[in-house]
Amino acid sequence: MSRPPATESRRRGPTLGAVELVICDCDGTLADSLFAITETFRLALAEVGWRAPVERAAVARYVGLPLARLFEELLPGAEAATRARLESAYRRRYPEVAAGRTPLFPGVREALGRLAARGLRLALATGKSRAGVDRFLAESGLAFEAIRCADTAAHPKPHPAMVEEILEETGVAPARALMVGDTPYDLEMAHAAGVASCGVASGGFTREELAACGPALLLDRFAQLPEALGGAG
């Protein structure tokens, strides 16, 4: 199995300026979706008869990447045809498994409300499909000015396309935006687009691993963001 993006050497991303736009990741940042993802993964494996165990913690470290790459990384011994069957089974089963099982992390709704009340604009950049995002928004009642998904952006994370497309749509300069996410993929995507980042250690990576990516802010959870921004917002 290949390793996730290297986090051994400390890097420094863009510094935080006056923020106008907050771009949020979804899974692991706003929503606690790990159970739904890992349970669907387990069911897909069982459906195709794959018997080798895959640990929950291993799955968590690839959340946010395209589904095809997740299977490629976690099951390097599987043939391409088997991975294609797994992806099909996963996509078919996920909506039922995830229904009502992807709650927002505590304080997320309130934090988004406080940011919006300050006049900050909100966007979403996620590895979910557009159909998955629509289900999530319908369940959560959240709304975002601009949204980019794995199947609507020109390239998936950690390529900067999602962030660049959101900046173009909103007309916000990179120096006035902040990307918030729980993985190195989110932070590297932001930095490649010239945008400051905020790591939140609520997903599959530790604070130390996120810190090595050089975020401008590092939090334990998204709910801390309004206070962390302080006068920057």
What CATH number is attached to the domain comprising 213? 3.40.50.1000
Output the six-digit token pair for 59.
């799955």
**Do residues 58 and 114 share a domain?**
no
Sign of CA dihedral 200, 173, 134, 137: positive
**Do residues 161 and 212 share a domain?**
yes
Condensed to tens digits (0 to 9), the pLDDT of residues 188-206 reads: 999 999 999 999 999 999 9
Q: Which domain holds residue 52?
A: 34-98
User: Each residue of 56-95: b (16+ CB within 10 Å) or e?
Assistant: eebbbbbbbbbbeebbbbbbeebeeeebebbbebbeebbe
pLDDT exceeds 60 at position 1: no
**Do residues 141 and 64 share a domain?**
no
pLDDT exceeds 60 at position 172: yes
Please give the model's pTM, rounded to 2 decimal places: 0.89
Q: Hey, which bits of the chain come out as E strands?
A: 21-24, 121-125, 146-148, 177-181, 196-200, 217-219
**Do residues 82 and 150 share a domain?**
no
**Do residues 109 and 136 share a domain?**
yes
Condensed to tens digits (0 to 9), the pLDDT of residues 9-53 reads: 356 678 787 899 999 999 999 999 999 999 999 999 999 998 877
Q: Which of 221, 209, 173, 213 is nearest to 197 (CA)?
A: 213
**Do residues 133 and 217 share a domain?**
yes
**DSSP secondary structure code for residue 224 in this structure:** G
List, in order, residues 6 or more apart from 90 with CB less than 8 Å away.
40, 41, 44, 67, 71
**Do residues 71 and 139 share a domain?**
no
pLDDT exceeds 90 at position 225: yes
- Catalytic machinery residues: 25
CA–CA dist 154, 210 (Å, integer)? 25
**Do residues 125 and 137 share a domain?**
yes
Amino acid in position 109: R
**Do residues 214 and 131 share a domain?**
yes
CA–CA dist 200, 30 (Å, integer)? 10
Q: Which of 63, 50, 54 is nearest to 98 (CA)?
A: 63
Is the bond preceding 103 in cis, omega lying within 30 degrees of 0? no
At 219 the three-state DSSP class reads strand
Boundary-marking domain end, from 98, 126, 142: 98
Number of domains in the chain: 2
Condensed to tens digits (0 to 9), the pLDDT of residues 92-148 reads: 999 999 998 999 999 999 999 999 999 999 999 999 999 999 999 999 999 999 999
**Do residues 56 and 130 share a domain?**
no
